[in-house]
Amino acid sequence: MEEDMRIHNLSPTTRKRYLDRVAAFAAYFNKSPDLLGPEEIRAFLLHLAEERKLSSSSINVTVSALRFLYKYTLDCGWDFEKIRFARREKKLPVVLSPEEVALFLRAVKNKKHKTLLMTIYASGIRVLEATRLRIADIDSKRMTIRIRQGKGKKDRYVMLSKKLLVLLRDYWRIYRPSSWLFYGKNKNEPVTAGTVRQVCRIANYESQVKKRVSPHILRHSFATHLLENGTNLRTIQVLLGHKSPKATTVYTHIARQNLKDMDSPFDRLPPL
């Protein structure tokens, strides 16, 4: 299965997730997957939904992993449409106000970690994209940041904030990275996404921001604040690297300007 996933050019992160889910499936029945079939798959998905109480997005990763295994690796020839994806819950993302973003960032003590998190908010990139940035990806002449092989194995360019450029130059003078912009334990490897998320949890607590803060919530806040400032959805879609416009339209539901400029019918009632 690992070899087949490499042939299909799936990302290392996706490959690991799929293998983990197939291993969990096999462990649940204590049998090799080639001895299991549609009935066991259905029972396992029911277990994930009703006993484990997993979200639909988490269950759908398992569905994708099992579809791949039985379709490509084991070549079973089943009707794979019967292994159905769970209906995804429609939840609006948490968004910070600009004041909350500033309060959160002030609570990050380490300069490298603070600069990385500021880069995520300033450009809207994903946490994995931020950890894999190289020095050569920062183009001060064109004022862009190059994202190499982001989600979907696609390159793209995002904006480079003038204020962020000043902070990145200051960071470079202190840390002197050689290849990876934000290196980890040594300069030859990037900082891990897990480290960044842990930094967020600590700063979230120390900043006393009441909302949960994560790298992805900083990305949501970037998109929402752009929309509130008049940036069109198509531009935001390109900056975020969304394949479909549908993924970007969620921000129209949470942008404050769409609500604050509207009158409720209640406002037009005669005096009560």
Which residue numbers are catalytic? 126, 151, 216, 219, 242, 251
Joined together, the tokens standing for residue 154 give: 């696609």
Determine the Cα–Cα distance for residues 49 and 44; give it in Å rounded to an integer: 9
Instruction: Of 44, 43, 3, give the one whose Cα is nearest residue 22.
Output: 44
Find the angle CA(205)-CA(207)-CA(209) to the nearest 5 degrees.
Answer: 80
Q: Output phi, psi for 157, to 5 deg.
A: -115, 145
Q: Give Cα 20 distance to the centre of its chain.
A: 19
- Residue 148 in contact with residue 126, Cβ under 8 Å? no
H helices of the chain, where? 2-7, 12-29, 38-46, 56-68, 98-106, 111-123, 127-131, 162-175, 193-207, 215-228, 233-240, 256-260
> Given CA atoms 110, 113, 118, 119 in this order, what sign does their dihedral have?
positive
Contact of 9 with 154, CB cutoff 8 Å:
no
Angle formed by the axes of helices 98-106 and 193-207, to 10°?
Answer: 100
In contact, 78 and 130? CB cutoff 8 Å: no
Count of C-beta atoms within a 10 Å radius of residue 10? 17
Residues in the chain: 272
